[in-house]
Amino acid sequence: MKLGIVVPCYNEEEVLHETTKRLSDLFSRLIDAGKIDSESFICYVDDGSKDKTWEMIEEITQRQSHFKGIKLSRNFGHQNALLAGLMQLKSSADALISMDADLQDDIELVWEFVAKYQEGYEIVYGVREDRSSDSRFKRGTAESFYKLQHIMGIETVHNHADYRLMSSRALEALSEFKEINLFLRGIIPMIGFRSTNIYYTRSERFAGESKYPFKKMLFFALDGIASFSVTPLRFITIAGFVIFVLSLFMIGWILFDKFVLDSTVQGWASTMVSIYFIGGIQMISLGLIGEYMGRTFQQVKERPRYFIDKEI
């Protein structure tokens, strides 16, 4: 089998040499064992890095024949960089594996990916056994996000990021999706085909800093929800109905206060509370509707998701 590994990179100069060393050693062992073809390759996709990442990629491709490089014209974001590599190389191999450059994912899992592919699986997900390597805050927010996805009816693989194998047929199917706001973890399970999970323990980042701070993770999570579920809009409808029912009780209380107790001044506090409450619900509702409208606005423009500057 001819295998390709796609590795998105953004400011990875601190870790790239070590990643190259480990992946090169892995490929040598896989080829010697007859598991993959000698024409198999590893491709680094530079997502508009501001450090020396691209210069290092050029140097690596000159020294080692198994390595390729793709340079995007600017920073398009991790998901777009990953998609660019997958789409550009989908016809160049029997299957492609996507992984990050930070060496947190266990690269020895590639042996199992290859074995599962040879058993007939077209999509193989690398799934974390636990999140013990994460901080308490990140672990809590991640678990909350997966639970929220489940409530919203979004089909994803729990504790799976973007470490996976996809066959060329699955990649062709992926190319049919035209979303501008990419959330590959939600798109790929929609493809179907025969799939399975492989579990592993994720390590600490070898070097450098995470490219997903809290703010970026928050927007990424919002993309995932807004791209695959209309449940938030339904929540607005439910909230509107509940407030309507409560307002009927409030009207009854006001009428009772007016004609029975003759003490309408006392209703000032409840009036202010209801104004603030309903006003807050309206603002949240408008914000949610705006998020969906904004994504529709971006989608109908059909702007390209990335541009490739160089390939080596």
Q: How far apart are the first and last CA of the chain?
A: 23
- Per-residue pLDDT at 24: 94
Q: Model confidence over 136-164: pLDDT tens digits?
A: 666 666 666 666 666 666 677 777 888 99
Q: How confident is the model at residue 89 (pLDDT cuts 50, 70, 90)?
A: very high
Residue 42 has pLDDT above 70, yes or no: yes
What is the Cα–Cα distance from 290 to 65, expressed in whole angstroms?
49
Top-level class of domain 3-212: alpha beta
Q: How confident is the model at residue 272 (pLDDT cuts 50, 70, 90)?
A: low
Q: How confident is the model at residue 67 (pLDDT cuts 50, 70, 90)?
A: very high
Between the alpha carbon of residue 115 and those of residues 24, 34, 111, 122, the distances in Å are: 19, 12, 6, 11
pLDDT, average across residues 110-121 = 94
Of 31-35, 75-79, 97-101, 243-247, give the lowest mean pLDDT range. Answer: 243-247
Q: Model confidence over 240-257: pLDDT tens digits?
A: 767 766 766 776 776 676
Q: How confident is the model at residue 227 (pLDDT cuts 50, 70, 90)?
A: low
Q: How confident is the model at residue 304 (pLDDT cuts 50, 70, 90)?
A: confident
Q: How confident is the model at residue 114 (pLDDT cuts 50, 70, 90)?
A: very high
Q: Model confidence over 69-80: pLDDT tens digits?
A: 999 999 988 889
Of 42-51, 226-235, 282-291, give the lowest mean pLDDT range. Answer: 226-235
